[in-house]
Amino acid sequence: MLKTHSLAILLVCGIIAVCTTIYLVKISKQVILLENDTRQSCENDLPCNLTSTTLTKSEEELFIDTSSFKFTDNAKSITALIKTNLSSKIFECSELILNESVLGKGAKCLLNGETNRLIIELGSDASILKMGGLSVRKHFSSSIVEIVTVKWGKRKNELTVSLTADRSHILKDKARSSLLHLEAFVSSVVPASSSEVSWKVIKAPSNSAFETLKASLSTITDSSITMRVSNLDIGVYTVQVSVRNSKSESASATTSFEIIDGAAPIVSIQNQKDLKFIIGNLYIISPIISFPKDYKGSAKMDKLKFTYTLESGPAKLDIIQKGDLLVLSNDYTYIPTEGEYVFKLTVQEEGVPDGSVTFKVTATSLAKRIVFEPL
């Protein structure tokens, strides 16, 4: 009887073992078939959607193509190809990027399942623009980290520079007028602090004047200069500033000034150092005119001619002024694009030297919205 029970137990155990083996084999085969089916359903260059039988919950939410990280054309964002079962998700960049500090202050991260994109909007002072490397987790909470290189796409030269002088005519014998200020405005997608600045003389009224000014400029590497010009000869001078950034992009700009015997009107702009304009609003730029004691003209405002011109900016403008005022609005001088615009005001009276001043206006939108779009 005992032998019969033992035999029955062994028989049952054998059946269970065989069934378990068959079941495990069937499960194993199913996984292989699912994986094969998934491989066949890959879409273009995007990674395949893996099945829940082979992924944890964290892995199932995100699969990143780490070879696809690249800057957008304006270098304000980074994008990468992904697969995710989430329609969209805004998250802290530190959840996925270990060295998230290189993204800058206020960086924002988004998963967009509809467009299969990971989008990273860069914050201020983003050092990734210079370094180009990110430490990226395989998925959320993963301990597996890969160092990826963020690539630059084909793009135009994003470096621009403009140059202004605080006056165009300088009276030779007046000590109060013997200082000249030159200011270079640099716009670049990479940090301006990584740019190299150099100055040189393009034109001078004599060889000796050329060498004198050249010696003054040769050691200057800053983007602004305040220098004495009382030792310069009478005549017209043209100087050039050149800028080169860490992406090997270069740009240059020139400006001219004249050392004169006679006195010209002294021209400046109200609030000249802080001219900020919100696109769509009305903004009036008003000149300030004064006359030196030895001015030989009428010294009357109605005898002066005021002319505004655009020296540089991100968009071409049709300048419509109102008398001596430059009016920025939809009805007068319309500025369509954000950025820095450099204007020049020339004041003329017959029989005396012209007076002029260059000034910068920064145009911004009323409100900035964060919009995530596919490339």
Measure the CA–CA gap between 142 and 5, rounded to whole angstroms. 52
Measured from the Cβ of residue 97, the count of other Cβ atoms closer than 10 Å reads 22
HSE (CB half, 13 Å, CA atoms) of 217?
Answer: 24
Closest by Cα among 308, 303, 307 to 352: 303
Six-digit token string for 38:
């998934």
| pLDDT, position 39 | 33
Measured from the Cβ of residue 54, the count of other Cβ atoms closer than 10 Å reads 12
Separation of CA 39 from chain center: 40
- Residues contacting residue 123 through CB under 8 Å, at least 6 positions apart: 103, 104, 105, 106, 107, 108
Write phi, then psi, for 159 (nearest 5 degrees): -90, 125
CATH class in words for 156-261: mainly beta
> b/e per residue, 25-47, with b = 16+ CB within 10 A?
eeeeeeeeeeeeeeeeeeeeeeb
Q: Which CATH number fits domain 263-367: 2.60.120.260, 2.60.40.10, 3.20.20.70, 2.40.50.140?
A: 2.60.40.10
Can you give the residue ranges of every domain in the chain? 57-149, 156-261, 263-367
Six-digit token string for 253:
């700009």
Measured from the Cβ of residue 290, the count of other Cβ atoms closer than 10 Å reads 11
Measured from the Cβ of residue 132, the count of other Cβ atoms closer than 10 Å reads 15
| pLDDT, position 18 | 44
Sheet holding 321-322, edge to edge: 283-285, 325-328, 321-322
pTM listed for this prediction: 0.43
Closest by Cα among 222, 306, 294 to 262: 294
Per-residue pLDDT of the chain (375 residues; tens, 9 = 90+): 444 444 444 444 454 444 443 333 333 323 323 333 333 333 333 333 333 333 344 444 678 888 889 888 777 889 998 887 777 788 899 999 999 999 988 899 988 877 888 999 998 888 887 667 899 988 887 888 899 988 876 555 567 888 888 878 787 766 455 788 898 887 765 555 567 899 999 999 999 999 999 999 988 988 889 988 888 888 899 999 999 887 777 889 999 998 877 778 889 998 887 799 999 899 999 999 998 887 888 889 999 999 999 998 889 999 999 999 999 999 999 999 999 999 999 999 988 888 889 999 999 987 555 555 555
Are both 156-261 and 263-367 of the same fold? yes
Cβ distance 81 to 46 under 8 Å? yes
| pLDDT, position 144 | 87
| pLDDT, position 154 | 57
| pLDDT, position 367 | 54
